[in-house]
Structure 1
Amino acid sequence: MNQLATTVYIDESSYYLEVCLDPFNKRIRVDDYRGNLKQLLSKVEELVHEHQSEKLIIKGRKEDIIPFFEFGLQPEGMIDRYFHGSDAYLLTKYYTSERKKNDHWVTEDGMIHSIYQLNVNSQKSLPPKEYELRKVNESCADDLSTLYKHVFQIYPTPLHDPAYIKKTMKEGTIYYGYYYKGKIVSAASAELNLFYKNAELTDCATLTEHRKYGLMKLILIELEKELKQKGIYCAYSIARALSFGMNAVLFQLGFAYRGRLMNNVYIYDKLENMNMWVKDLASC
């Protein structure tokens, strides 16, 4: 059973923290902070040990990078314009030697090099008329969870559970999907941060037999349109570093590579490295 990630808010006299406790992926992620860095970092380290986490991620601001370095954090990626137009730096620290090891790094580097040689304007023609692109609402949560069960044996969030999908929809996450003969065969979502005006394009899944029509690219384009309508221009996505297809889709949609998060989440059957891709929707 997937252990749900929970967000805790710690508001002390000298600092504030917004922390995602993620027991399933054995990590802690600091999504926001302000105040006394020394004290808040001490609190974060306390949480890491309390929850026996193996990895810490902090979305840091440029002006705080040096103190984070002194604390032992290292940069793995960045998100352009994440904080109301200011860049976020993804800084990490590992607490076990195993979590820091990786056998695929050079292969994944080569994949990024190959992707950057692709033709950006290689959009396929529209899929056959039997495919219908629609916004997915709560009434289709069961179908959506069935899709994710088929595509992902293991996933970092419990998308196998229709109740969880309905919860994310109520919280503002937008889902689009392609329907074929009444069933969802491809889908993706946009998880909104309305305070900082950014969105993560995520939960991308297509059934194997429907992957030849470029459905995911068309879904992401539709999500981008809705984000722009909402005044959200910072879009980012985190793709499995070993998935050539998904990384290629993001590159061809105009996303730029911004680093790799090592052993970041459990997907399929193991911990996976995840590539960060970022796009400024205001420039397109």
Structure 2
Amino acid sequence: MNQTASTIILEEDSFFLEIYLDPFNKRIRVDDYRGNTTSVIEKVEELVIVHKAEKLIVKVRSEDYFNFLEKGLQPEALVDRYFLGSDAHFFSKFYTPERKKNDHWITEDGMIHTIYQLDTTLQKAIPPKEYGLRKVDESCAVELAALYRQVFQIYPTPLHDPDYIKKTIKDGTIYYAYFYAGKIVSVASAEVNFFYKNAELTDCATLTEHRKYGLMKMILQELEGELKRNGIFCAYSIARSLSFGMNAVLFQLGYSYRGRFMNNCYIYDKLENMNMWVKNLANC
């Protein structure tokens, strides 16, 4: 099977579907749907069999919550105001026993509890003047890809490929990065959904030797500012559940925990659980 992810649109008499096929992570994600929810689920489960997916994720509108629950899917996470101000419930279903097993869940529950005890009034660190923050464009794609290769042995999207990064920028993804001695040392992006007016803050990476200055917090705040200037107030981020640092950064920036995806994607060095964090930028 081709390992390249792709988005497909399906339209029939009783429904419309926008589906993200993700063979690398052995999953299928329904990003949008309209029409008869029973037909929607039946069609998607046909695709699960065809593509040998192990996990299905559906972004469900609040009014359809019980329709999907009754069909055997279960809610894993929530994004407040995702659909032009209406909440999105991320429902999942697993298709192999192995994909539904996890040894880290209790540990990760404890981490969330610890993070919620953190002080959110701490003064932000100011990086030394040798560090410069700016928006980056396609000309930095090769350098960005090299940084992602260095930080992540495995990543759920092909950020190791400069051409993929160039495509994301053309499609509207915003990247900000810190430079040190002329080289990128920390980066994050905002993947914008212009139709539903939301954005995922993602692809966060900092070289190990530059992690003591709180660079990622500054980058995320800069991205938030640009989103607000563009009238986008629903921001969310999905962080590795075993990464205390990244989850703590999001909490201290005012994001709220909204659930956890079990065995969601291959990242860092294995299949991992991912935490959902959400922020309403209109309140800050």
TM-score by shorter chain over 0.5: yes
Residue 159 of structure 2 is matched in structure 1 by 159
Aligned partner of residue 195 in structure 2, secondary structure: coil
| Paired AA for residue 228 in structure 1 | K
The separation in 1 between residues aligned to 2:149 and 2:61, in whole angstroms, is 37
Q: Which moved more, 1:124-133 or 1:154-163?
A: 124-133
The separation in 2 between residues aligned to 1:243 and 1:210, in whole angstroms, is 17
Identity of aligned residues (%): 73
1:229 aligns with 2:205: no
Aligned partner of residue 213 in structure 1, secondary structure: coil
The separation in 1 between residues aligned to 2:143 and 2:34, in whole angstroms, is 41
1:133 aligns with 2:133: yes
The separation in 2 between residues aligned to 1:123 and 1:167, in whole angstroms, is 37
Q: Is the 8 A contact 2:82 2:234 kept in 1?
A: yes
Residue 243 of structure 2 is matched in structure 1 by 243
| Paired AA for residue 41 in structure 2 | L
| Paired AA for residue 248 in structure 1 | A
The separation in 1 between residues aligned to 2:107 and 2:226, in whole angstroms, is 35
Q: Is the 8 A contact 2:190 2:201 kept in 1?
A: yes
Q: Residues 46 and 123 of structure 1: is their aligned pair in 2 closer, same or farther, counting only changes over 3 Å?
A: farther
Aligned partner of residue 157 in structure 2, secondary structure: coil
| Paired AA for residue 264 in structure 2 | N
- Describe the superposition over 1:4-42 as per-residue Cα deviations: whole angstroms up to 9, x where unpaired: 211000011110000000000000000000101111111
The separation in 1 between residues aligned to 2:76 and 2:123, in whole angstroms, is 30
The separation in 1 between residues aligned to 2:189 and 2:123, in whole angstroms, is 20
Q: For 1:52-71, what aligned pairs fall within 5 Å after superposition?
A: 52-71=52-71
Q: Residues 123 and 4 of structure 1: is their aligned pair in 2 closer, same or farther, counting only changes over 3 Å?
A: farther
Aligned partner of residue 166 in structure 1, secondary structure: helix
Give the TM-score of the pair, scaled to structure 2: 0.98
Aligned partner of residue 153 in structure 2, secondary structure: coil
Residue 32 of structure 2 is matched in structure 1 by 32
Give, in angstroms, the shift of residue 121 of structure 1.
2.0
| Paired AA for residue 134 in structure 1 | R
Q: Is the 8 A contact 2:152 2:269 kept in 1?
A: no
Name the count of aligned residue pairs: 283
Aligned partner of residue 195 in structure 1, secondary structure: coil
Residue 145 of structure 1 is matched in structure 2 by 145
Q: Is the 8 A contact 1:4 1:157 kept in 2?
A: no
Residue 172 of structure 1 is matched in structure 2 by 172
Aligned partner of residue 212 in structure 1, secondary structure: coil
Aligned partner of residue 211 in structure 2, secondary structure: helix
Q: Is the 8 A contact 1:178 1:186 kept in 2?
A: yes
Residue 184 of structure 2 is matched in structure 1 by 184
The separation in 2 between residues aligned to 1:94 and 1:66, in whole angstroms, is 18
Give the TM-score of the pair, scaled to structure 1: 0.98
Q: For 1:1-284, what aligned pairs fall within 5 Å after superposition?
A: 3-284=3-284
| Paired AA for residue 269 in structure 1 | D
The separation in 2 between residues aligned to 1:249 and 1:122, in whole angstroms, is 12
Ranges in structure 2 where 5+ consecutive residues have no aligned partner: none
The separation in 2 between residues aligned to 1:113 and 1:125, in whole angstroms, is 24
| Paired AA for residue 75 in structure 2 | P
Give, in angstroms, the shift of residue 152 of structure 1.
0.2
Pairwise CA RMSD: 0.8
Aligned partner of residue 238 in structure 1, secondary structure: strand
The separation in 1 between residues aligned to 2:123 and 2:239, in whole angstroms, is 19
The separation in 2 between residues aligned to 1:245 and 1:5, in whole angstroms, is 29
